[in-house]
Structure 1
């Protein structure tokens, strides 16, 4: 009798155990180019800050008015150049809730529902999904116009890679309640690209969220 009771309890536990085994894969890709002549400056994958991204994803799914992508941040602290011209790249900052760019020098609001976004037609978030597919893309579009940022050089012929607007790192940040309370969710380091008055620079940043099914729990 006792044995039958134990068997019944085990059967009940087995029934209560969820049989859905899945996961989420997050990938990012960045393309930086001149929209006028299609010259590509950067075309590479980025690193994901998984702790901050998972927290932001849960906040957004729980409708907490938090966690959505709000800002694209630019910096110039991702690399260094020695006297021989050799460039050394630092690793992306993807550990710790307070992770940030090495040296942020500019930022733009890409949340096209925000009143702080000065051009929602060119700085925006687009959700791309094909029916039947297990992934959805967020396309983050950002344009640095001719006059942005203020204080940039006239031409893209700088011999120094230390300028504020010679960018070598970029990250996406999620909203955590205010424009000064943001979490870094992605970070990418790349060879320096100068923003100057004589050209526009377009950034297409794709974040792919893919569900993984039939994963083993062992």
Structure 2
């Protein structure tokens, strides 16, 4: 019997085109140890909030120079108030929450096999053809002065960073950043349906 349990948490992100099956991103991500440990302890204590809640999409995780060379910024997983470099849009994946646009395509599943000392949390988040919508003032964080690929035209969006956030008693888009991953820019167009599988 173990008297000590060292919790190890790893994350992996897979982003793909739903219609073609093309894999756009397939890589590991960084976990925010401080914020995640706080959420685990709070959830185990049966307190409200602090559960996995939203997936945030940003577009400032990379720097592209005049020659097209890409520099990847470091994931922000150090400070308690860390956030994406430029948070532009987010999706709710809590199937009991009214903010969830489709509980079959935005959800959390658990994968566990008897006898294993690990359990996978699989978060599914889907950007539908018309998402982000320019008229959406709740989940689309792009202002009117943003570029067209900043989600000011329905269905058009370029993103290069993702982050999981917790639920907050202060409402939507107020939770703690629990993970952060940066990757090459992904083009979301109105004729494209993109799905994210985020495994922890």
TM-score in terms of structure 2 length: 0.87
Cα distance in 2, alignment partners of residues 180 and 202 from structure 1:
20
Point out the structure with the larger helix share: 1
* Pairing of 1:168-207 with structure 2 (within 5 A): 168-177=160-169, 178-207=171-200
Contact 1:146 1:196 (8 Å CA) reproduced: yes
Point out the structure with the larger strand share: 1
* Structure 1 residue 57, shift from structure 2 partner: 0.6
TM-score in terms of structure 1 length: 0.80
Cα distance in 2, alignment partners of residues 19 and 75 from structure 1:
41
- Alignment of 1:31 onto 2:14: yes
Residues 137-185 of structure 1 deviation map (CA, whole Å, 9 limit, x = unaligned): 1100011010101149xxxxxxxx9932210000000112121420000
Runs of 4+ in 1 over 2 A off after TM superposition: none
User: In the alignment, which residue of structure 2 is the partner of 1:4?
Assistant: none
Provide the aligned length of Structure 1 versus Structure 2: 182
What runs of 5+ residues in structure 2 fail to find an aligned partner? 136-146, 151-156
Cα distance in 2, alignment partners of residues 67 and 111 from structure 1:
12
Question: If you compute each CA radius of gyration, which structure gives the higher value, 1 or 2?
Answer: 1
* Pairing of 1:4-23 with structure 2 (within 5 A): 20-23=3-6
SS of equivalent residue, structure 1 residue 37: coil
